[in-house]
Amino acid sequence: MSRWGLSFCPINMQQGIHTPHTEAIEKQIKKELNQAGLRVQDLIIVGVSGGADSVALLLSLYRLGCLVEAAHCNFSLRPGDCEEDEVFVQKLCQDLDIPIRHITFDTTSYAQKHGISIEMSARKLRYTWFEELMQSRQASALALAHHRDDNIETLLLNLTAGTGLRGLTAMRTWSKQRIFRPLLHFSRKEIEEYLSDIDQDYRIDKSNTDTTYKRNFVRHRLIPLLKEINPSVEKAIDRTIDNLQGVEDIFEEQLSESVIRFYREGKISMEEVLSSASVPTFLFELLRPAHFSRVMIRDIYQRLSNSSGAVYDSPTHRLVRSTNSLHIYPLASLLDQHDVKEILIPINNTEQGECLFPHNKDLKLCWRIVDRQMFGASLRLPLNMALFDYNKLGQLSLRLKQAGEKIYPFGMKGSKKISKLLIDCKYPLQERDMDLLCSDNTPIWVPGLVADRRFGVDANTKCCLLCSISKTTNEE
């Protein structure tokens, strides 16, 4: 026995321990890996606190042969215990020869400075660091150990906060931010049994019993009351989450055409808005991507019938109500680069446009719709320009490059990681965090460098989108 309890088994013994329970869990995790499109050679950053859930996640991925690196946060909230957690995780990773990265936060000071709760502060700090880590390590995914009980608690917390349908769908196994949560259909008890089967110890966070934290209150006081109504309430809520996620998928699929067209054309008719089954919900889904708050959207809805000429600004966009339409315009000058991740670009068939890059105000993007014939046979353009087949494009946006993203350059076979492309082109390290032009969140242009051939002009192209970048000028 070590100071942690059970000593960690040697690697070869660890891999040799198999029970029906461990095999069932690892089979499900392997299935989730395949569904997420993650391969054995893809680097996965694993958030490891030292608790049962994260230790089980790290070991299961390790036993499945995945390429993993551990990431540990010390939030400085439990003097002594936090340091022991860190030593435990370091020892675990050392025994397995798994690389580990760790960081210490002054969570209390951060909460006081920003006027938010300790829970929210810890969340913001760790996710910001995880995002930076994924980018610097060029990782394909961030694996987090949220399980079924966590998801149920999330749904109940969101229900009490009135977050709407998205809040009730809780967490998904795979997110657009490349966050991987393969334990969501396993209970805390099943995870602890898994660790018991492979003879692995873990740390216990004493603060998990402190019901002054909202999540702990739900876990220790609310759920036991719900069990008095239905002893199998966890499984029932888990099924409900699955059903709600399916409803959300259908809901977004039905709305996506209107939303994409709105930002593509920069307008939508009042007739279409007012004829929707639920105008407030339709407006919310329409304006949410442009960072309009729920309160602002409610105000817009209440004034729809008699506010021609009204103007509303979000952090990134301006909404203008005309007699027959709603018009949307990007307001790059209002962007707060610390809070806004992207701006959506409306492509209008009759107008050209321009906007500033959200994270580099010295650059602006200009675009216009042009006829294919104006270019003749030659399509050679300066590096600051790119030409795309208009009909191959979806919702355009400018956003920061993300870790592991690829592009399909002209003149090359297959794809290439954008980060590797920047290295090969000897881009300075400080300039590699750049905004990309994307179509439906897929990178189509590394401005000034390379465009994606899949969206390029071909023999069938009739209408083109011409994009260019240029330096901004300050006119006094």
Band the pLDDT of 368: cuts 50, 70, 90: confident
Looking at the structure, tell me whether residues 170 and 57 fall in a common domain: yes
Average pLDDT, integer, range 241-248? 89
470 has binding-site annotation:
no
Q: What percent of the chain lies above the pLDDT cut of 70?
A: 90
Reported as a pLDDT band with limits 50, 70 and 90, residue 378 is low
pLDDT tens, 226-244? 999 999 999 999 999 999 9
Q: Looking at per-residue confidence, does 306 or 129 come out higher?
A: 129
Identify whether the C-beta of residue 151 lies closer than 8 Å to the C-beta of residue 53. Answer: no
Residue 373 has pLDDT above 50, yes or no: yes
16 in a labelled binding site: no
Q: Is residue 6 part of a domain?
A: no
The whole-number average pLDDT for the span 26-52 is 93
- For tokens 């700090």, the residue is 125
Asked whether residue 422 is domain-assigned, the answer is yes
Q: What is the pLDDT of residues 257-270, one digit of tens each?
A: 888 888 888 889 99
Question: C-alpha distances in angstroms, 339 versus 291, 358, 359?
Answer: 11, 10, 11
Residues 99 and 196 in one domain: yes
Residue 196 lies in a domain: yes
Q: What is the pTM of this model?
A: 0.62
Range of the domain at 67: 20-240
Beta strands 67-74; 43-47: pairing state: parallel
**Same domain? 356 vs 322:** no
The answer to whether the CB of 448 falls within 8 A of the CB of 469 is yes
Shared domain for 273 and 236, answered yes or no, is: no
pLDDT in tens, 173-224: 998 789 999 999 999 999 999 999 999 999 998 878 888 888 899 999 999 9
Domain boundary among 336, 362, 385: 336
Query: Are 317 and 350 in a shared domain?
Result: no
Residue 50 is assigned to a ligand binding site? yes
Q: Which residue has the higher pLDDT, 226 or 320?
A: 226
> Domain boundary at 316, 336, 356, which?
336
* Residue 313 near residue 288, CB atoms below 8 Å: no
Pair (351, 402) in one structural domain: yes
Indicate if the pLDDT at residue 474 is higher than 60: no
Q: Are residues 356 and 298 in the same domain?
A: no
Q: How does the average pLDDT of the chain come out, rounded? A: 85
Q: Does the residue 7 lie in any domain? A: no
Q: How many domains does the chain divide into?
A: 3
The answer to whether residue 12 sits within a structural domain is no
Is 136 annotated to bind a ligand? Reply is no
Q: Is 206 inside a domain boundary?
A: yes
Left if phi > 0, otherwise alpha if psi is -120 to 50, otherwise beta: which for 348?
A: beta
Are 366 and 395 within one domain? yes
131 and 214 together in one domain: yes
- Is the residue at 8 inside a domain? no
Is 85 a known ligand-binding residue? no
Q: Is 52 annotated as a binding residue?
A: yes
5 belongs to a structural domain = no
- Residue 110 sits in a domain whose CATH number is 3.40.50.620
245 sits in which H/E element: helix 233-265
